[in-house]
Amino acid sequence: MTKHSNNLSFETICSSEVEELRHNPSHILPIYASSSFVFEDTQHSIDVFTNQKDGHLYSRYANPTVDSVAKKLARLETFGTDIEGYCLLTNSGMSAISLVFAAFLNHGDTILTQADLYGGTTELINKVFARFGINAIYVDLTDIDVVEKALIEHNITMIYAETPANPSLRCIDLAATARIAKQHHCMTVVDNTFCTPYIQRPLALDIDVVIHSTTKSLNGHGNSIGGAVIADAKYKHQLWQSYKLIGLNPSPFEAWLLHNGMKTLTLRVSKACDNAMVVAKFLETHNKVGQVNYPGLPNHASYNIASSQMSKFGSMLSFELKGGFDAGKSLMDNVSLITLAPTLGDLDTLMLHPASSSHLNIKREIRESVGITDGLVRMSVGIEESEDLIKDLSAALNTIS
């Protein structure tokens, strides 16, 4: 072994970590691809392991890249309020939902929710959390009298809502729901994925917890899977305890991709919302279309509520083709610019025909009960030129006999 002047061997120098030679801050957030971090001393490890002080010990607990992006998202979701926001990034939207249920629900608790949820959320409730004694009651959350009646008749622990709903685009009165829930000592949780905090901020309307699939519009580029939970900092310990033990953390790279996407959030979403309005108005007048579900149209059932709690009407819409299943299949097979994909919120326009894809194996009467008919098509409108989207849709609609 050859000794160096500092009495370390060549082998030891090879295996040692280098000193980070960063003399001034980087312009772009670095990716901290480290599984662990160094204790200052024993007391430091105790303080951080017990969440008494902020710090980084192990990336399942916390990571500088992940925490930096989470802090930014908390600022966006609490913008315009005096709420001290707390955000945890997760490895998917589904894990964000799982975190909230695991952190706040116990055996015997009941969730009050809606039938027109994202299918994965419904399955999570019915197939996973039901096994742990957590029940769900499904009602029309857009009817505040129905909500109040359920709260009076049942011992409800949590109201869980999506607004706008998928794929009906119906909207729930968030302020009224929060007010009634608090009267009955019930927690409120809202999936804000469709809107992002640029369009709608439920915490400002007194909702307790907000969930996102950051995979969608927050990232906007279709290159990352992730989720987020944002709440008042008073819920910090309860959320973090479940988060670190279940192991729901994203990789630093996924968080970094989300950060890059959020930089253009307002530009992307604003353009997509404008395009969605143009597309919705076009579809509303087409003779092959029976109904358009878009909260920005004055004839939509939720137009007034959406106008009061959303700054824009969103980039999501759905529409009912008069020709049923065959019409939906024909439309899907004949678009050329629009992409067929089972996601939403990307830069480009995406289309889904649930009856031939996501809900193919669900009985017709079940899916139709929540508005998913044979001729229903869902669109996530992107940032292309709206004229090009109209041309593509028009040509495809003309193929329907």
Q: Where are the beta strands (DSSP E) in 223-349?
A: 227-232, 289-293, 316-321, 339-340
Let me know if 191 is a catalytic residue.
Answer: yes
Nearest alpha carbon to residue 198 among 295, 89, 271, 253 = 271
Nearest alpha carbon to residue 70 among 268, 229, 211 = 229
* Catalytic option among 109, 191, 346, 374: 191
Cis peptide before 197 (omega within 30 of 0): no
Residue found by looking up tokens 């049923």 in the block = 324
Give every CB contact of residue 308 below 8 A, 6+ residues apart in sequence: none
Q: Dihedral angle at the C-alpha atoms of 346, 351, 356, 357, nearest 10 degrees?
A: 0
How would you class 113 by CB atoms within 10 Å of its CB: exposed for 0-12, middle for 13-18, buried for 19 or more? buried
Let me know if 118 is a catalytic residue.
Answer: yes
Q: Dihedral angle at the C-alpha atoms of 8, 9, 14, 19, nearest 10 degrees?
A: 10
* Catalytic option among 60, 72, 179, 236: 60
Let me know if 149 is a catalytic residue.
Answer: no
* Catalytic option among 32, 86, 118, 160: 118
Give every CB contact of residue 401 below 8 A, 6+ residues apart in sequence: 323, 330
* Catalytic option among 170, 216, 271, 378: 216
Radius of gyration (C-alpha) of the chain in whole angstroms: 24
Question: How does DSSP classify residue 128?
Answer: I
Q: CA neighbours within 13 Å on the CB side: how many for 18?
A: 4
Let me know if 131 is a catalytic residue.
Answer: no
Helix boundaries (H) for 7-115: 10-15, 42-49, 64-77, 93-104
State the Cα–Cα distance between residues 202 and 98, nearest whole angstrom: 19
User: Among all residues, which ones are annotated catalytic?
Assistant: 60, 118, 191, 216
